[in-house]
Structure 1
Amino acid sequence: MVYSISTAFAIYFVLWWLVLFVTLPFGIRSQHEDGEGAPGTDPGAPVLARMGRKLIWTTLISAVIFAVAMWAYYQGYFNIERLSKLMGTPF
């Protein structure tokens, strides 16, 4: 079974969001840890989020994971028979 472009895009989109939520906490210093903060703000708020850098890293990591997964799929490692045998359920 060959994926269509829209299916591949949907899979990449979901993968991208999952990787984004994994990469968000890396490199964050809170106002409490940094010792400075604006009055009236939450002490756990980040000082400098660097979202542009995180979005670039998220895109790169997602692209690598997606490429490896698509390679494995086209090589036959991700077919329904193999996955059902791996999970112990009859097909």
Structure 2
Amino acid sequence: MNLTGGIVLFAIIWFMVFFIMLQIRPHSQADAGKVEPGTPASAPSDVQMKRKVIGTTMIAVVLWSIIASVILSGAVTLRDIDWFGRLGPVEGGN
């Protein structure tokens, strides 16, 4: 894995975790009992975006380090997940 691959892997993990974090404890304006004029009652009342971004980054760093270490160690290779044999035979032996 090169630098670009590592950055792309981190970005994908970060956004996946972020979309999950957005769904944790959402409070709508209807739940809070105060609906701002011109907004739907289902709009969030207190998003706490800074807290969610920091939490997302911390979780993404841990997940990225685990996944990157598995990839870089060679424990799982592309041939391990080639279930349909599309890579062809292994050159030089077994």
TM range (shorter): 0.7 to 0.9
How many correspondences in the alignment? 86
Aligned to 1:73: 71
Higher CA-based Rg: 2
**CA deviation digits over 1:14-60, x for unaligned, max 9?**
22112111111112200112221112211111110000000001101
Query: Which deviates more from structure 2 when the two are superposed, residues 23-32 or residues 49-58?
Result: 23-32
Q: Which of the residues 53, 58, 62 maps onto 2:56?
A: 58
Instruction: List structure 1 runs of 4+ shifted beyond 3 angstroms.
Output: none
Matches within 5 A, 1:1-91: 3-84=1-82, 88-90=83-85, 91=87
Report which of the two has the higher share of helix. Answer: 1
Percent of residue pairs bearing the same amino acid type? 24
TM-score where L is the length of structure 1: 0.83
Aligned Cα root-mean-square deviation (Å): 1.4
C-alpha distance in structure 2 between counterparts of 1:80 and 1:6, whole Å? 18
Query: Which deviates more from structure 2 when the two are superposed, residues 35-44 or residues 46-55?
Result: 35-44
Q: Which protein, 1 or 2, shows the higher relative CO under an 8 Å CA cutoff with sep ≥ 6?
A: 2
TM-score where L is the length of structure 2: 0.81
